[in-house]
Amino acid sequence: MKVSQIMRQPVISMREGDSLEEAARVMLEHNLRGVPVVNEQGKMSAFLSVSDYLAKDKYVPFSRFHAPQLFGKWIGREGIEKIYEEARATPVKEVMSTDVISVTEDDSVEKLVELMLSRDLNRIPVVRDGVPVGIVARFDLLRLMMEQKDELQ
């Protein structure tokens, strides 16, 4: 079976220059956990996921001390609310993940599942000539299981 048979379309994507606020709005409106990010030519350059909006534990250089960072800022007394407020206008390109794994429509579902497992990915964008045309999430594999059940009956 090919990826084209299980991918969700159309894919919703964001541009590198869109604000984090706009990206959050789109993700919330469409109940998405992540979106491909495209450059000026419409080709996928990165991926933005809910985890990019969360604080990450960072180590202080030359120290054993570690503390949470959000959008590259240490969380201190000003608190998370202030950092989120300041980040609303931050462009997506400042926090997006550029190490993106993708598949094509002609790739096998087996290859897709192998990538999901080996890279611990929850979703993988589907591209055609570098342009996002679909997406497959782990949830979509449940649908595959149910469709195969219906075919057997």
This prediction has a pTM of 0.78
57 phi/psi in degrees, rounded to 5:
-75, 120
Residue ranges of E strands in 8-65 = 14-15, 34-38, 44-49, 56-59
Q: Would you state the CATH architecture of domain 3-152?
A: Roll (3.10)
Please report the sign of the dihedral spanned by the C-alpha atoms of residue 55, residue 102, residue 26, residue 14.
positive
Encoded tokens for 2: 């090919």
Encoded tokens for 143: 């649908």
**Residues counted in the chain:** 153
Assign 119 to helix, strand or coil. Answer: helix
pLDDT, one tens digit per residue, over 5-43 is: 999 999 999 999 999 899 999 999 999 999 999 999 999
pLDDT, one tens digit per residue, over 68-120 is: 555 566 556 566 677 667 777 889 998 888 899 999 999 999 999 999 999 99
Report strand pairing: 56-59 vs 66-70: antiparallel
Specify the pLDDT at position 69. 58
Q: With contact defined as beta carbons under 8 Å apart, do 133 and 11 qualify?
A: yes
Encoded tokens for 85: 């407020």
Distance CA 109, CA 12 (A): 21
Residue appearing with tokens 């950092």: 83
